[in-house]
Amino acid sequence: MATADTWQPAPSLPAPRSERGWIGWARANLFANWLSGLVTVVTVPLIAWVLWRIVAWVFGTADWTLIASRPQQYLIGLYPTELAWRPLAGWLLVSILFGMAAAMWGGAARRIAIGYGAITLLLGILPYGMFHEGVVMPGWIRALIVANLLTMAVGYALGRSSHWGRPRTFVVGGIAIYVVLLVLLTGLPGMEQVPPRQWGGLMLNLILAVSGIFFAFPIGVLLALGRRSALPVVKILCVVFIEVFRGVPLITLLFMSQVLVPLALPENFPVDSVTRAAITITLFSAAYTAENIRGGLQGLHPGQAEAARALGLPGWQVTSLILLPQAIRNVIPAIVGQFIALFKDTSLVYIVGMLDILEMGRSIVQGNVQFADNGRELFIFVAVVFWIFTYTMSYVSRRVERHLGVGVR
């Protein structure tokens, strides 16, 4: 008869030293076989040499005077210096949204908010004079920049509140802040007016991008649904709109908005060049967004719509509650990719005479003989600025996809 002695499995031994830690990682990824080892031996020294040359140029040979001497122009363009409190006040309001997002969603939103706060603090305390003699940021501007940390704290407190910390409040607050920002930049009645043609720098790129993203998405959804409509007139109009805007380069559309559209409008019609460019970019992006969403709708099994109709749901509920949420979830990577392309395309407005951050830097280089040889520094600086924003959008997209389980069956 078997005894009651319990059988104990042998304790698991740790993996060999050569298969764990950085040694194991290197063996599995860099020296898995002879070909992998050969590629590693050849490319690693080459990559190290290239990185060393880049670091030596950035911190040694490169002259960043072009960037350090005119920080305000890169941020707000030709906006009057004495009225710079207006965009800075709008910046304070935007910081509230970052604080609310960090409190409501945590995770990636909190990390982005922390990075945003660190950059803001750095901009507020950075001694510009040490990089370029004679460049000193006024104290009131420094105070307003650092005050963004306080408004972030206010937003965090609102996000933690059970009454204010809701997605609907966040969206409505974002729309309200955007409208207030536009009113502040232009000027209230009785205040000194600043026409949009004086807007510029990174501020102009962000305004055009936010306007395009905010309006292109709902317009794209309507166009996608219209293209799938059973009404011939609606379907034809949506198809023509989408194919025309997708078939014409954005540069051509921008020229048409600035040259041809005013001819069709009454004289002194109150639509400035920035508004026309924003409308053009929005419609151009909406056409591509519509095709992305239509692809998501076509990827759904028709049995879902049939089952919803069998339960007695009307058509608008089938679309809004069953089909659209799944379609948008499936095409999040494509939609975010389109929004990233939209943000980068805002740099094309320099062709129609707007001083975005790229054109502002180029005009400074061409207008000052001492900066004639600093073109590389300028374009690297602009590239880094665009990369920071686009990578943040991509990072948020990946986190949302992971949260929603996109691509997981």
The H-or-E segment that residue 72 falls in is helix 71-76
Instruction: Going residue by residue through the chain, which has 409 residues, state the pLDDT in tens, using 9 for 90 and above.
Output: 555 567 677 667 666 666 666 777 777 778 878 888 888 889 989 999 999 999 998 888 888 888 877 778 888 888 888 888 899 899 999 999 999 999 988 877 888 889 888 888 888 777 654 444 455 667 777 888 889 999 999 999 998 888 888 888 898 999 999 999 988 888 877 788 888 888 888 999 999 999 999 999 999 999 999 998 888 999 999 999 999 999 999 999 998 888 877 776 666 666 778 888 888 999 999 999 999 999 888 888 888 888 888 888 888 888 888 888 888 888 888 898 899 999 999 999 888 888 889 888 888 888 887 887 888 888 999 999 999 999 988 888 888 777 776 656 5
At residue 234, what is the residue type?
V
Q: Which of 291, 296, 207 is nearest to 245 (CA)?
A: 291
pLDDT at 64: 83
Q: Are 128 and 135 in contact (CB under 8 A)?
A: yes
Distance from C-alpha of 63 to C-alpha of 373, rounded to nearest angstrom: 9
C-alpha dist (Å) from residue 385 to 249, 274, 338, 340 = 25, 22, 19, 13
Residues 6+ apart with CB under 8 A from 305: 318, 322, 323
| pTM of the shown model | 0.84
At residue 103, what is the residue type?
A
Q: What share of the chain is helix, strand, coil (3-state, %, to 5)?
A: 75, 0, 25
Distance from C-alpha of 358 to C-alpha of 218, rounded to nearest angstrom: 29
